[in-house]
Amino acid sequence: MEIKLFEIASNIATPISLASIVIITLYFIYQIVLNLKIFSKLKEKNTFSIINSIINKFFYLSLITMILGIISYVYNQANPLTKSNISLTGNVLCSDGYPVEGAIVFVEGVDRKKKTDTTGWFTIVVDTKEFYVVRSIHKNVVNDITVSKKDIDKPIRLVLKCEKDIITHIDKKNMVYIKGNSFKIGRTGIHNDETPEHEVFLDSYWIDEDEITVEEYIQYCKENSIDFPPDPNFPTMPNYYTNIKWRKHPVVNITWEEANEYCKSVGKKLPTEAQWEVSARYLLNSYESLHPFINENGLPKGNFPDKSLRKFFPNYVTLNYDTKDNFPFTSPVKSFKANSNGIYDLDGNVSEYCFDTYSKNYYEISNKINPINWVGNSKYCVIRGPSWAQWYDVVTKRNRKYKKRSSKSIGFRCAIY
């Protein structure tokens, strides 16, 4: 989408060129007057010769100045942006007041363009003192461009161009903020893919407080003409994607690729493996726990494979606790208490996709700052967290899954980073 504003205004002759025209006009008047008979004897005096010589020099100088002024005027008409540098600084805002990232702002006629940053701001340096950027109009955008320079008196043509429709802003409602810091992840000497324990630094990030629900995913499917995921056919939960009873349960039976596309559609991403572990392991960003999924009595906190599941699958391997959570399969999100970071269901319900591709020995070569393991042609992605079908008490447990395959016990949540 492209909106063009205000044709470049015509330059006017410079004050020096105007003065030259006045001087030349006066010179011709002087020559006419000088030819009158009453000034014939005056021409014979030496003083007149000197004065006349000076006047003639002024004439030729003014003539040259006028010619240069005309050339400059013509050139400026063909190349209107060729004067002293000036910075055009402004911001692009959505109709709800949030900044727009990635809008392309450029001055037509010159090869200068800028993308707005994460705060919606841009700066373009142009070669002129005579133009300024004014308010433009864009879908979902008001008061896009506010220029800090106020003492310029003529408009310039501005183009605001977006490569795709603007998302008004990334909604952080129902998300939890995790402050950047150094954290330890992994553990040494247990399972090969969890070792070694190592320290990483993560920038601050936001993560969903709960898993993406059936209701949210169905709405996304309808808006984008996408088929609903296959029904998981849970014995006690018929028509998982069409029965309103299950709308608050987590979405399942989707692939990593489908989860990744959903996150992108709302301007977010799947959380990295490191972010997922930190969100579960470091409660309130300080207290570290390798076993955040169990309570002080050693019992699971969330929706886990217990006696209620064994009722439907007698031979299914479940935990040998004489307890049940009353949810043999998925439970509505937020059915169990959040951790001290305010995040729900990291300790059960469904396991969750992470953004990273899976490599068994990745921790041996992991980056120290904002680690993301990404191997473009990898078939496997990382799965984190226990579920209604599989449980473990340690937060460092890593699992893998084929990107193109789905599962009844895997869902996801989104993050911003």
Omega of the bond prior to 80 within 30 degrees of 0, cis?
A: no
pLDDT at site 147? 38
* Virtual torsion, Cα 406, 410, 415, 417, nearest 10 deg: -60
User: Distance of CA 123 to CAs 146, 239, 333, Å?
Assistant: 11, 54, 44
pLDDT at site 257? 95
Taking alpha carbons only, the member of 23, 30, 146, 21 closest to residue 91 is: 146
Contact in structure between 417 and 387 (CB atoms under 8 Å): no
39/20 Cα distance (integer angstroms): 26
Fold of 175-416: paralog of FGE (formylglycine-generating enzyme) (3.90.1580)
Give the H/E segment covering residue 181: strand 181-185
Contact in structure between 413 and 212 (CB atoms under 8 Å): yes
Residues facing 172 on adjacent strands: none
DSSP state of 212: P
Residue 371's CB is within 10 A of a number of other CB atoms, namely 20
pLDDT at site 412? 98
414/395 Cα distance (integer angstroms): 19
* Virtual torsion, Cα 334, 272, 407, 280, nearest 10 deg: -40
Contact in structure between 305 and 318 (CB atoms under 8 Å): yes
Max CA pair span of the chain: 134
Contact in structure between 357 and 374 (CB atoms under 8 Å): yes
The alpha carbon of residue 88 and the mean position of all alpha carbons in its chain are separated, in whole angstroms, by: 22
Contact in structure between 106 and 68 (CB atoms under 8 Å): no
User: Distance of CA 170 to CAs 108, 173, 174, 179, 216, Å?
Assistant: 30, 9, 12, 18, 16
185/347 Cα distance (integer angstroms): 17
Domain ranges of the chain: 10-78, 175-416
300/351 Cα distance (integer angstroms): 15
pTM of the entire predicted model: 0.62
Sequential DSSP letters for 376-392? TT-SEEEEES--SS---
Contact in structure between 341 and 395 (CB atoms under 8 Å): no
Low-confidence ranges of the chain (pLDDT < 70): 1-20, 33-34, 36-48, 72-170, 284-288, 316-324
pLDDT at site 267? 84
Task: Indicate the pairing of strand 158-161 with strand 2-5.
Answer: antiparallel
